Amino acid sequence: MAAVMRYRTAGYNGYSIEYSPFFENRIACASAANFGIVGNGRLWVLGLGAGPEGIDVEKVYDTQDGLFDCAWSEVHENQIVTSSGDGSIKLWDVTLPDFPVRNWSEHTREVFAVKWNLVKKDTFISGSWDQTIKLWNPEVPQSLTTWQEHTHCIYQTAWSPTSGDIFASASGDHTLKVWDVRQPRSVQTVRAHNAEILALDWNKYHPNTLVTGSVDHSVKVWDLRFPDREAMVLLGHDYAVRRVKCSPHSGNIIASASYDMTMRIWDTAMGGNRLAHVHDQHTEFVLGVDMSMFFEGQVATCAWDEQINVIQIPGLSMKH
Amino acid sequence: MSATQSHTSSSPDAIFREFTAYNWDKDQRFQQGLQSILTKSYDDSAKKEEAIEKAKCFYYSKFFRPINYLQYLKWKTDQSSASPSPDMSNDIMPTVASQSSTGEKEEKNDILPQPSEQKVSEPQYPRSFQELCEMVARGEEVPGIRTIPNKINEAPPSESHLAPRRKPWETKPEGAEGASAVQTAD
């Protein structure tokens, strides 16, 4: 296995890490000073395969408040959107220095989730602690739609990989909701955990399958056709699960990041506990994880230890 | 003023209580001095807490009444382990100079009170995370926060030249829906 590539986000605690959908060696990290309690935020644009430890900085952008999530544009190779603790959403052009090219200030509380539409690539959604979800077009100065139905903070959202109108949201109200952008109300509500749900992603190969991660330490796999009970529970994390990602290469591979300072790779086609790999080199909460679309098995993590790690997971199976 | 007032009338317990109840946040003179303590780096938060406590004892001794740090620690440990008793520390006089009257009291002096109130199911937050929370809760200014102008870039955004790249799952033939059930390998 190749050595771990590393980068230190000095002074900033990592919240979210995302691979560029255009450039295989580019990643971005949304981070916050002082653990996001108070102080500035910073967006890092980083190049893989460069620098003394395998990752080098290409651009940094500073913000007044902590940054909690980021999403690369699916249509513009130079643009990326960030969400902030002050409720703002900013669009950045990484060819320009210092300031964003757009700023939206509709959310009234922390925005923990921003996700670009994977199919209708001219829109993105945001999910906030103000309990609303908003749909945006980067060319439009106001949100296109606002949905309010969750009764607690929204921690994560995820687009369907196959339908540009369908997305899902996960909330502190213990529910997972599925939405159609053409409908004013959610189309499905799943009481997914008996605790706050912090993490959510949509399986890229099974259109009815979603994955949630919760304060209850568990990762659950859901088949929306049978919402009364989870299809699978993945147990092993010792503390809250903060982020989950479904592999872009395989319908049975899931990555999860946790307050237990580990990132785990699960293979739902395996027997036993289905745990395929544990990355335990972080020394604080792991909040961000993403899987490369271009190099199967390459995984990037960011954590409160101000460290970004990029690793190659050996021997991942490829059952689709 | 208070630095010269008599302290013979108060019991040690009352003095320690007064000491702990003192409004440190409002004492600007102390807060100014505290800044130099907070900016130093410490091995861990226990060391930092110790430095703050010692600074408080020194300050209180200088301006109000003599407080012996080690005796204060013992008093605090007793407070947290036993129900408050007015007589428990009658034999300990708080003075600047250490004058512990009995050897048996010494043994506890090295033990920093470490209340284990952390719930087992709660993740252990980084120490500086808790310190920051406490600073914010006390209304103290967290150092190092910069003001970033809330402005939009004046330069025009770049043009996109690349077509979106195909996702790995988009190369799959249509009709995977029927096989979408999660494999339950057991």
Domain ranges of chain A: 3-312
Q: Which of A306, A41, A38, A283 shows the shortest CA–CA distance to B132?
A: A38
Sort out which chain B residues have CB atoms less than 8 A from A139's CB and list them. Answer: none
Per-residue pLDDT at A228: 96
Handedness of CA A12, A16, A21, A24 (dihedral sign): positive
Q: Residue B176: CB partners within 8 Å, gap ≥ 6?
A: A205, A206, A207, A320
Per-residue pLDDT at B179: 42
**Measured distance CA(B50)–CA(A219) in Å, rounded:** 41
Per-residue pLDDT at A32: 97
Pick from A78, A102, A121: which is nearest to B164 by CB? A121
Measured in angstroms, the CA of A264 and the nearest CA of chain B are apart by 17
Rounded to two decimals, the ipTM of the complex is 0.90
The DSSP line for A3-48 is: PPEEEE-TT-EEEEEEE-SS-TTEEEEEEEGGGGSSS-EEEEEEEE
Scanning chain B, the segments in alpha helix (DSSP H) are 12-21, 28-38, 45-63, 69-81, 127-137
Per-residue pLDDT at B18: 84
Q: Which residue of A has its CA nearest to B128?
A: A34
B7 pLDDT band (50/70/90 cuts)? Answer: very low
What is the residue whose two structure tokens read 């002096």? B109
Q: Which residue of A has its CA nearest to B126?
A: A284
- Environment class of residue A179 by beta-carbon count within 10 Å: exposed (0-12), middle (13-18) or buried (19+)? buried
- 8 Å CB contact of B182 and A221: yes
pLDDT digits (tens, 9 = 90+) for A35-47: 998 899 999 999 9
**Measured distance CA(A143)–CA(A92) in Å, rounded:** 17
- 8 Å CB contact of B158 and A121: no
Measured in angstroms, the CA of A223 and the nearest CA of chain B are apart by 7
- 8 Å CB contact of A209 and B180: yes
Per-residue pLDDT at B58: 77
- What is the side-by-side strand order in the sheet with A253-258? A241-246, A253-258, A263-267, A275-279
pLDDT digits (tens, 9 = 90+) for A177-207: 999 999 999 999 999 999 999 999 999 999 9
% pLDDT > 90, chain B:
13
Instruction: Give the single-character DSSP code of A261.
Output: S
CA distances from A114 to A63, A108, A196, B117 (A): 16, 15, 19, 36
Which is more confident, A260 or B23? A260
Amino acid letter at A218?
A: S
Residue B92 has pLDDT above 70, yes or no: no
Task: Count the Cβ atoms, other than its own, within 10 Å of residue B135.
Answer: 18
Q: What is the fold, at CATH topology level, of the domain defined by A3-312?
A: Methylamine Dehydrogenase; Chain H (2.130.10)
Residue B175 has pLDDT above 50, yes or no: no
Measured in angstroms, the CA of B42 and the nearest CA of chain A are apart by 17
Q: Which residues pair with A148 in a beta bridge?
A: A132
What is the residue whose two structure tokens read 């209708």? A120
Domain ranges of chain B: 2-112, 113-148
- 8 Å CB contact of B145 and A221: no
CA distances from A211 to A17, A180, A253, A300 (A): 18, 18, 11, 19
Which is more confident, B184 or A139? A139
Label the pairing between strands A188-191 and A197-202.
Answer: unpaired
Sort out which chain A residues have CB atoms less than 8 A from B148's CB and list them. Answer: 40, 62-64
- 8 Å CB contact of B129 and A35: yes
Per-residue pLDDT at B127: 65
Are A299 and A6 contacting, i.e. CB atoms less than 8 angstroms apart? no
Q: Which residues pair with A7 in a beta bridge?
A: A308
> Nearest-5° angle of CA A115, CA A120, CA A123?
45
Mean pLDDT of B2-18: 62
Instruction: Give the single-character DSSP code of A54.
Output: B
Q: Which two tokens stand for residue A56?
A: 């080098």
Q: Which residue of B has its CA nearest to A65?
A: B148
Sort out which chain A residues have CB atoms less than 8 A from B160's CB and list them. Answer: 75-79
Per-residue pLDDT at B121: 63
Residue B120 has pLDDT above 80, yes or no: no
Residue B19 has pLDDT above 60, yes or no: yes
Q: Which two tokens stand for residue A18?
A: 């995302």
* Half-sphere exposure in the Cβ direction for A242 (13 Å, CA): 28
- Environment class of residue A170 by beta-carbon count within 10 Å: exposed (0-12), middle (13-18) or buried (19+)? buried
Q: Which residues of chain A have pLDDT under 50?
A: 1, 317-320
Are B144 and A33 contacting, i.e. CB atoms less than 8 angstroms apart? yes
What is the residue whose two structure tokens read 């994390």? A237
Residue B103 has pLDDT above 60, yes or no: no
What is the residue whose two structure tokens read 């990037």? A300
Q: Which residue of A has its CA nearest to B151?
A: A99
Which is more confident, B91 or B43? B43
Measured in angstroms, the CA of B22 and the nearest CA of chain A are apart by 27
Sort out which chain B residues have CB atoms less than 8 A from A209's CB and list them. Answer: 180, 182
> Nearest-5° angle of CA A227, CA A233, CA A235?
155
Are A28 and A67 contacting, i.e. CB atoms less than 8 angstroms apart? no
Q: Which two tokens stand for residue B84?
A: 């408050």
Per-residue pLDDT at B82: 56
pLDDT digits (tens, 9 = 90+) for B125-156: 766 777 887 888 888 888 889 999 999 999 99
